[in-house]
Structure 1
């Protein structure tokens, strides 16, 4: 895994897993949240895992990313959804996206651009990028929320 971030204060790009993300048009808080989440790509998924770089579940990933910007959010995905400010338009980088993945099972990820989100995947057993437009995710999509201004 290759990760590196901010080249300068005016040109903010981030490369992870062979893909480049231009964060230069994002405000500092959004950019920090997205960079923190992207920095965990490749980290193993572990149920109830909450150790960045070693073991994360989906809600620990988003909690960690927001904490990097000094924002405290709840630990579990259902509480994150309940307390986030709803996003009525297209979710932006840094916004959370919520899914119902089974009976009483919920999943959360974070948008990193117009279509991709980063999440701790139970099926792939690691933090990875996925496309919101994929059929699997569209069928399970509950909505988006944010703690950003």
Structure 2
């Protein structure tokens, strides 16, 4: 599945819910299904800077595609990172770098988060793209 297809699927899923309480509950469920990061990667190096809660993201390159694992100590944040991982994990670094993230606006996520969580969301996306840039450089060299 491409990044765009994953984004469209998420937008479609969120459109099934009438109110934001249902959407939050759905995000919490998504967070529970997140493939957990190995404890050894829960380090300072893998913490997303700019998040109010703790969020760890780890990336590994396999067959020229990035696989992400993550965890958070906050349930809503765990749901947010689960959405991002669903979109970007298993994708080539170049496609992650070039991907737009308008789907976040399409589901109304940013406007329904507190300012600190919205900043955290931006930081998570930035970190995922930074991993992609770093691994893209490795592939080319």
**TM-score, reference length from structure 1:** 0.31
Higher strand share: 1
Higher relative helix content: 2
RCO higher in structure (CA 8 A, sep ≥6):
2
Give the TM-score normalised by structure 2.
0.32
